[in-house]
Chains A and B, each alone.
Chain A
Amino acid sequence: MLQIDLWKRVMIWLLVAAGLLLALPNAFYSRVETVNDTRAALAAGAPVDESAASGWPSWLPSGLVNLGLDLRGGAHLLVEVQVEDVYQARMESLWPEVRDLLRAARDEVGTIRLQESAPDELVVRVGNEGGAATAAGLVRDLAQPVVSLTGVGASDIEVRSQGQDVIVTLSEAERIATDERTLRQSLEIIRRRIDEVGTREPTIQRQGADRILIQVPGIGSAEELKAIIGTTAQLTFQPVVTQTSDPDYRVASGEELIPSLDEEGVFYILEQAPVVTGEELTDSQPSFDQNNRPAVSFRFNPSGARKFGDYTAANIGAPFAIVLDDEVISAPVIQSHIPGGSGIITGNFTVEESTNLAVLLRAGALPAGLEFLEERTIGPELGADSIEAGKIACIVAFVAVLIFMALSYGLFGIFANIALIVNVGLLFGLLSLLGATLTLPGIAGIVLTIGMAVDANVLIFERIREELKTARGPARAIELGYERALSAIVDANITTFITAVILFAIGSGPVRGFAITLGLGIVTSVFTAIFVTRLLVIMWFERRRPRTLEV
């Protein structure tokens, strides 16, 4: 008959209490937020005012619902990493090796010339007829095995000969492995650069094969975010061939024309293959040169230091260029052999510029260019307006539904209302527990849940009304009402839940936020309808034992 085991009752109340407790911090959002920030700072060892951490008791849960960018304001960027850039860099760095190798075998292959080619190929023309095959064989020995799970046994380059040309390309396995490395590296560099600026709770996620999603709350604009990430912050040290003032100077292949950063109208012709790149930097600090002008000191890792040392030893008296983002910062003449792998970059810097450059160098250069596919900036005031409007709409909807239910079902309506209040509390508790993000459509999802949550109760109450006409006595009617309404409740909610899951799986950003609140709302509303209201009804029934029932 109408009864629920004691342990079940205890379980239900415990669950409700736990949910409400988890939801509690959200009622004091800004206070708990400050406390959480202070605690995090303390844990990180930062010197902060410890009294700020006592604003919220430590024995209470302090998880909050995250606010999405559309509610808090901030910037969102979706970038695509130009993984092909790396192929080109690889080919460029291969050229000196190939050149030295073939020069040594000049007797067999003849003179060699680098040909214009697609960026991801290296084409070398050999002088001797029929020498291409021999040359290809020699170059093939430069190949190294690919280190990856799928490419076992594959080598990193593919060499073929065509007429008098030797064509070198990266193998498929190497491309896959390179792409993966490029993406991870980009992700890490972007993360470090954003951390360096110190905004809180940035989201930096990989999306698909070659995309990265970046969301930073509280930042002024997407432009600012782009500036921090830097589009092509590439540092290289390249040998200088000559200097010119003619912007249309025709460069030989294997060389490039790069403008100077601070000398107007001055261009440098540089060898394309860099001696060392910024990737081999281990540290850089703002400092001052001997004339007390701002400068940036740097240090290479061992392999970078060896390359740099060898090059400076062999080219004393020759100029070499420090190139950042396709601009020559400075082109000093090598005064002496620099063996230790550390040096200093001078230029017409201000103190601020040298500090920024040091940060940029320390964070490392991005291995490939970024293309911005999507950028969004939401101002904090618009977010605040949205929260305010959403809050008011929620409260009004809530109160209106409560009144409507009470008018329609009387005492049972009150039970349903208690369940509805518990339901919204549980929903916030779950959102906090999961650390889910609340977006503006998410708020709409909550409002929709408020409207639809009563559905399960309505189904049950209507069924009880029907059963009252035929069943023997109120107890039996209540029991049958719950029993018979269950299949409709289950079917109706599972189908809605399916759509929420699909939305979550496929949607992104705000849509996902909506799917979360809708899906969790279904779970909590079914729970409250078939357990909480039922318990309330039964408790009332046990106490009153009514002979007739009005639903």
Chain B
Amino acid sequence: MRLRLVPEETSWDFFSRIRLWVGFSVLLLILSAASFATRGLNYGIDFQGGTTIRTESAQDLDIGAYRDALAALELGDISITEVFDPSFGPDKHVAMIRIQAQSGEESVGEGRIEEVRTALQSVVEDIRFTAVESVGPKVSGELIKTAAIAVLLAMGAVLVYIWLRFEWQFAVGAVVALVHDVLLTIGVFSVLQIRFDLAIIAALLTIVGYSLNDTVVIFDRVRENLRKYKSLALRDVLNLAINETLSRTIMTSVTTLIALISLIVLGGDVIRGFVFAMTWGVIVGTYSTVFVASAILLRLGVKRDWSKPDANEGNQFANVDA
């Protein structure tokens, strides 16, 4: 007896309500853009400069007291949030204190962290500082730039690779799906105001990788079916390819989600944002393969002239998988 997530044989028509799905995606994209424009992102210190201090104490967290202790130092905008995690015992209270970069300073303020420590110690005796991180505005500006370059470079590289291995229509479909996934992930971070730091960029690139993985598997089958069923309409070829690979799509998404969800629940609060981004990305990536990448492929059409099988003979990439 086997566990089956998808019936053995499916012949669902994924394009019967395609306008609806495309509309849905566009709506989500607009919402993301609106949120980004109005609320922006909750940038971490990696991107905005400043200092974060993680404190730990056995006493109940009194944010007001912390705030009062730090008010005298005149550090400008300070945010103090309590961190929760199922693994914390009853006598473990963790707070994250975020201090903005002080104006006119290129680097980390000399001695300021020491002042903050002393101020907090005077209020909470048993306070411990489990992590203190400071990034100067000079570096944070560069980090944003390199992060953006990394994401664009990854997409560019992928575009070129798929273009070489498939047709340009496939590459466009795959990359539009990637952009869709990345934008929606940024959107969700904007809506939920989850801290957006360097690790999230790594997550974005992983999403790029995962979403692509998914897209490529279906495109590979589309390519195969295009050769096999020369007279079948493109829409049917796409449907066939998606149905044939559906079981695999779901299986892999589920195993990956199993792993990620166990990490969200048990992996501790430090990387929760990072793992959340990846989880979201897996869901969006799976969705976009079918409803974005394939839809675009259908719209663009594909060269169906396989009558000359030797057309690709001279292409050095044609036989990579042989």
Point out residues on A near B: beta carbons under 8 Å: 70, 78, 80, 221-223, 371-379, 381-382, 385-386, 389-390, 392-393, 396-397, 400-401, 404-405, 407-410, 440-441, 443-444, 447-448, 450-452, 454-455, 458-459, 462, 465-466, 484, 486-488, 490-496, 498-500, 502-503, 506-511, 514-515, 518, 550
Contact = CB atoms under 8 A, between A and B. Distances in A.
A503 B216 CA distance: 20
Given A373-B139, A491-B220, A452 B108 contact: no
A462 B10 CA distance: 14
Interface of B: 2-5, 54, 56, 87, 106-108, 110, 113-114, 128-136, 138-139, 146-147, 149-150, 153-154, 157-158, 161-162, 165, 198-199, 201-202, 205-206, 208-210, 212-214, 216-217, 220-221, 224, 244-245, 247-248, 251-252, 254-260, 262-263, 265-268, 270-271, 274-275, 278, 320-321
B260 A376 contact: no
Given A452-B256, A498-B157, A462 B162 contact: no
Given A444-B278, A448-B256, A491-B217, 6 more contacts: A447-B259, A448-B260, A455-B248, A462-B245, A488-B221, A499-B158
A377 B221 CA distance: 50
B199 A404 contact: no
Contacts of B5: 408
Given A447-B263, A510-B198, A510-B199, A376 B132 contact: yes
A534 to B, nearest CB: 16
Contacts of B202: 441, 503, 507, 510-511, 514-515
Contacts of B146: 506
A490 B133 CA distance: 41
A377 B4 CA distance: 48
Contact of A496 (B135, B198, B213): B213
B201 A511 contact: yes
A502 B258 contact: no
A404 B274 contact: no
Given A393-B267, A444-B278, A502-B157, A373 B138 contact: yes
Contacts of A80: 107, 138
A209 to B, nearest CB: 13
A377 B132 contact: yes
Contacts of A410: 2
Most chain B C-beta atoms within 10 Å of own C-beta, residue among A222, A374, A407, A499: A499
B176 to A, nearest CB: 15
Contacts of A506: 146-147, 149-150, 153
A376 B131 CA distance: 7
B150 A503 contact: yes
B257 to A, nearest CB: 7
Contact of B259 (A450, A484, A511): A450
Contacts of A440: 270-271
A460 B265 CA distance: 31
B154 A502 contact: yes
Contacts of A488: 216-217, 220-221
B101 to A, nearest CB: 12
27 contacts: A221-B132, A223-B114, A372-B134, A372-B136, A373-B136, A376-B131, A377-B129, A379-B131, A386-B268, A393-B262, A393-B265, A400-B262, A440-B271, A444-B271, A458-B248, A458-B251, A491-B216, A492-B214, A495-B158, A495-B161, A496-B210, A496-B212, A499-B157, A502-B157, A503-B150, A503-B154, A503-B205
B129 A374 contact: no
Contacts of A499: 154, 157-158, 205-206, 208-209, 212
Nearest to B3: A407
B95 to A, nearest CB: 13
Contact of B198 (A372, A396, A400, A511): A511
A495 to B, nearest CB: 5
Q: Which 6 A-B pairs have the closest CB atoms?
A: A451-B259, A487-B321, A389-B268, A451-B256, A496-B209, A407-B3
> Interface residues of B: mostly helix, strand, loop or mixed?
helix
B266 A392 contact: yes
B209 A455 contact: no
A254 to B, nearest CB: 29
B255 A404 contact: yes
Given A462-B248, A498-B161, A511 B108 contact: no
A491 B210 CA distance: 12
A404 B135 contact: no
Contacts of A458: 248, 251-252, 255
Contacts of A222: 113, 132, 134
B262 A381 contact: no
A409 B2 contact: yes
A255 B106 CA distance: 29
Most chain B C-beta atoms within 10 Å of own C-beta, residue among A444, A493, A514: A444
A443 B260 CA distance: 11
A347 B321 CA distance: 77
Contact of B209 (A392, A454, A500): A500
Contacts of B320: 490
Contacts of B256: 448, 451-452, 455
B226 to A, nearest CB: 14
Contacts of B210: 452, 496
A491 B263 contact: no
Contacts of B154: 498-499, 502-503
Nearest to B54: A382
Most chain B C-beta atoms within 10 Å of own C-beta, residue among A447, A484, A495, A503: A495
Given A441-B274, A444-B278, A496-B213, A374 B136 contact: yes
Contacts of B266: 389, 392-393, 396
Contacts of B130: 378-379, 381-382
Contacts of B54: 382
A374 B135 contact: yes
A372 B216 contact: no
A495 B150 contact: no
A107 to B, nearest CB: 49
A211 to B, nearest CB: 9
B150 to A, nearest CB: 4
A487 B220 contact: yes
B252 A375 contact: no
Contacts of B248: 455, 458-459, 462
B321 A491 contact: yes
Given A373-B139, A492-B216, A511-B201, A502 B150 contact: yes
A511 B212 CA distance: 20
A444 B275 contact: yes
B161 A78 contact: no
A374 B259 contact: no
Nearest to B269: A389
A374 B108 contact: yes
